[in-house]
Chain A
Amino acid sequence: MFPTVSASGLTLRYGGTPALDDVSLRLEEGVTGLLGPNGAGKTTLLRVLATAVPADRGVFTVLGHDPGTAAGRQNLRRELGYLPQTPGFHPDFTAFAFVDYVAILKEMTDRSARHREVSRVLQAVGLSDVRGKRIKRLSGGMRQRVALAAALVGDPGFLVLDEPTVGLDPQQRMRFRELVAEAGEGRTVLLSTHQTEDVAMLCRRVIVMSSGRIRFDGTPAELTARAAGRVWSSAERDPGARAGWRTGLGSFRNVGDPPEGAELLEPTLEDGYLFTLDGEPVREAAA
């Protein structure tokens, strides 16, 4: 399959801090999850791919467009939908006016065609009924859906979503996941998240980042399988475990190298993620 995004050797430092360290990846159609702890470089990678900030080194293309040239950057941006980590709004705008504003930024100057498109995306995210409400009067979940509608306007081929489910309650999160799953049909979506459930439910592929580098690149099942035979239960916190936490039943769930005779548990995606964070890179991403 022809890759939507092809990146090689992306490196970016903020002062002395490496935010991206020689990152290479290829993205194809469907939803790809980007997991990692705070400071892993997820947001920086998304900002570079969205052309919000330039990398110090490395090259990438999106749908064949090279952002290294002014024309390539503009063509790339025409194919881009971007939902930043903390999307800003003009709070006095209505939901319709805000999405309309973003549509104008996407060069849709024909009023009728633009309004049809704005109505379409507001309907797609289930906000038709509140289209005339000011954004400052909408709930957090609704605002997030307004931001998603703004990212979807113009039917972009590459959708970049930076932690879109943060701050949403469980019901809103489920609704949002449905929307992202629908958005992933027929286009490439890169979804940064802290939530392994987001990845488990949405993504056909997952990338794990840590300290600006890619630590894992594969399917969610492969990430889960990394922790096979590495998860065990104990009554007390096991000091030899790479990670351990108390479960709702009061016992501890540990990830790492189990002691002899330990009660092994079936691994989850979260176990595979935690195991990978503390381990060596499994394989570098495809160049």
Chain B
Amino acid sequence: MRAHENHDRPDARDTGWHVDDEDLRAYVQGELTAPRLWSVDTHLVACDGCRRALAEVSDPVALDMGWARLDAELDAPRPGRVESLLLWIGVADHTARLLAATPVLRRAWLVAVSAVLLLTVAASSSLRDAASPTLFLALAPLLPLAGVAVSYGPALDPTYEMTVVSPVHGFRLLMIRTVAVLVLALGVNGLATLALPGYGLRALAWLLPALALTATGLALTPRLGPVLAPALVGGAWVGTLAVARATTDEATLLPFTPAGQVITAAVAVLAAVLLYHVRDRFDLTARARFGAADGVL
């Protein structure tokens, strides 16, 4: 592409540049790739001169294909806000659409999570004499666990049945969504951590438990289902903290001590290995989803 120097392609709606012949040839042959392809698509809609130039560099069959491609692009409505944001940060368009269909990325969920975290931070901050922000550290790992749980599975994904019979590997889809949710949830948690500067690195002791809980919840999902698995893992986490509180007078509970962090890291690694081992089982629907109780035999 080049700046508007080609005066033999005048156009009433001057866009400030024109597509050069090489790109036009690549366009008609279907060899132009995004994002340049998108720019050319958009420009051809506006520039009569470039459309005429396109006809000159094309053979008729290739030209028809080019017009068909342009028609299809014109048919495509503009992506939504989440999707536009993902495209803007460089996510491939097909991955962006898969992520836009992830329930957890919806605004309401994000707002709810943020509200819970703000309340927690406020509560922890109010305990100015506490040696450890225990409430925050206990709650923060549960958020990514819950987020991943609601991003995949029949209960909250309205298109689950269509998704599970698609050729896209279920585990790949799960990982795409999990990474997106983790980035989001860990980001929110990270921002909340910044609100607790007085605790230094101790305020980051939620990170490894968050990874361990999420990986364990996912690894158990094929066996226990997408609701029971994270619920049990979350319950086990709360139980562990309750036991730790009951058995020590220390301000910092065991999972948030250096020794506890090592154990948590080991759990995260083991769960990740188990998750990889059961990856093919995400390609099949949980039988319970379509049980006789549905009355749809």
A interface residues (Cβ-Cβ under 8 A, vs B):
14-15, 17, 19, 38-44, 47, 50-54, 70, 73-75, 77-78, 80, 82, 84-85, 87-94, 96-97, 100-102, 104-109, 111-112, 114-116, 118-119, 122, 128, 131-132, 150, 212
Q: Across the interface, name the chain B residue whose C-beta is closest to A53.
A: B285
18 further contact pairs, Cβ within 8 A, besides A97-B97, A105-B166: A14-B292, A15-B291, A42-B297, A43-B296, A43-B297, A51-B284, A52-B164, A75-B167, A87-B159, A91-B158, A97-B80, A102-B159, A105-B98, A106-B166, A112-B30, A112-B72, A115-B76, A150-B162
Considering the chains assembled together, what is the distance between the CA atoms of A156 and B102 in angstroms? Answer: 26
- The answer to whether A104 touches B297 (Cβ under 8 A) is no
B292 smallest CB distance to A (angstroms): 4
Q: Across the interface, name the chain B residue whose C-beta is closest to A16.
A: B292
A132 smallest CB distance to B (angstroms): 4
Chain B residues with Cβ below 8 Å from A47 are 285, 290
Considering the chains assembled together, what is the distance between the CA atoms of A93 and B287 in angstroms? Answer: 29
Q: Given A70-B280, A87-B162, A90-B158 in contact, is the A107-B69 Cβ separation under 8 Å?
A: no
A101 CB contact (under 8 Å) in B98, B160, B285: B98
**Which of B30, B71, B159, B285 has the most C-beta atoms of chain A within 10 angstroms of its own C-beta?**
B159
B105 smallest CB distance to A (angstroms): 11
Whether B4 is near chain A, meaning CB under 8 Å from some CB there, is no
- The answer to whether B159 touches A111 (Cβ under 8 A) is no
Chain B residues with Cβ below 8 Å from A52 are 161, 164-165, 285, 290
- The answer to whether A77 touches B72 (Cβ under 8 A) is no
Whether B8 is near chain A, meaning CB under 8 Å from some CB there, is no
A74 CB contact (under 8 Å) in B69, B159, B169, B285: B169
A55 smallest CB distance to B (angstroms): 11
A10 smallest CB distance to B (angstroms): 13
Render B126-158 as a binary contact track against A, CB cut-off 8 A, 1 for contact.
000000000000000000000000000000011
A80 CB contact (under 8 Å) in B69, B97, B157, B165: B165
- The answer to whether B69 touches A112 (Cβ under 8 A) is yes
Which positions 240-295 of chain B face chain A at CB distance < 8 Å? 280, 283-285, 287, 290-292, 295
Render B53-86 as a binary contact track against A, CB cut-off 8 A, 1 for contact.
0000000000000001101110111011000000
- The answer to whether B168 touches A107 (Cβ under 8 A) is yes
- The answer to whether B168 touches A89 (Cβ under 8 A) is no
A16 smallest CB distance to B (angstroms): 9
Which range holds the interface residue count of chain B?
A: 35 or more
Render B26-57 as a binary contact track against A, CB cut-off 8 A, 1 for contact.
00001000100100000000000000000000
Chain B residues with Cβ below 8 Å from A84 are 161-162
Q: Given A80-B165, A90-B101, A97-B97 in contact, is the A39-B290 Cβ separation under 8 Å?
A: no
Chain B residues with Cβ below 8 Å from A116 are 68-69, 71-72
Q: Across the interface, name the chain A residue whose C-beta is closest to B37.
A: A112
A162 smallest CB distance to B (angstroms): 9
Considering the chains assembled together, what is the distance between the CA atoms of A94 and B80 in angstroms? Answer: 9
- The answer to whether B291 touches A88 (Cβ under 8 A) is no
Chain A residues with Cβ below 8 Å from B173 are 105
- The answer to whether B291 touches A14 (Cβ under 8 A) is yes
List 5 A-B pairs, minimum CB-CB distance, nearest first: A88-B158, A105-B166, A115-B72, A14-B292, A132-B77
**Which of A51, A92, A96, A105 has the most C-beta atoms of chain B within 10 angstroms of its own C-beta?**
A105
Q: Given A105-B168, A112-B69, A115-B76 in contact, is the A19-B297 Cβ separation under 8 Å?
A: yes
- The answer to whether A39 touches B166 (Cβ under 8 A) is no
A269 smallest CB distance to B (angstroms): 23
Whether B163 is near chain A, meaning CB under 8 Å from some CB there, is yes
Considering the chains assembled together, what is the distance between the CA atoms of A111 and B94 in angstroms? Answer: 8
Chain B residues with Cβ below 8 Å from A88 are 157-162
Whether B93 is near chain A, meaning CB under 8 Å from some CB there, is yes
Considering the chains assembled together, what is the distance between the CA atoms of A50 and B101 in angstroms? Answer: 22
- The answer to whether B94 touches A109 (Cβ under 8 A) is yes
Chain A residues with Cβ below 8 Å from B34 are 111
Chain B residues with Cβ below 8 Å from A39 are 295, 297
- The answer to whether A54 touches B284 (Cβ under 8 A) is yes
Chain A residues with Cβ below 8 Å from B98 are 101, 104-105
Q: Given A77-B167, A102-B166 in contact, is the A92-B80 Cβ separation under 8 Å?
A: yes
29 example contacts (A-B, Cβ-Cβ < 8 A) are as follows: A14-B290, A14-B291, A14-B292, A15-B292, A17-B297, A38-B295, A38-B297, A40-B297, A47-B285, A53-B287, A54-B284, A84-B162, A88-B162, A89-B158, A89-B159, A90-B100, A96-B75, A101-B100, A104-B97, A109-B92, A109-B94, A112-B69, A112-B73, A115-B73, A116-B72, A119-B71, A122-B75, A132-B77, A212-B297
Chain A residues with Cβ below 8 Å from B284 are 51, 53-54
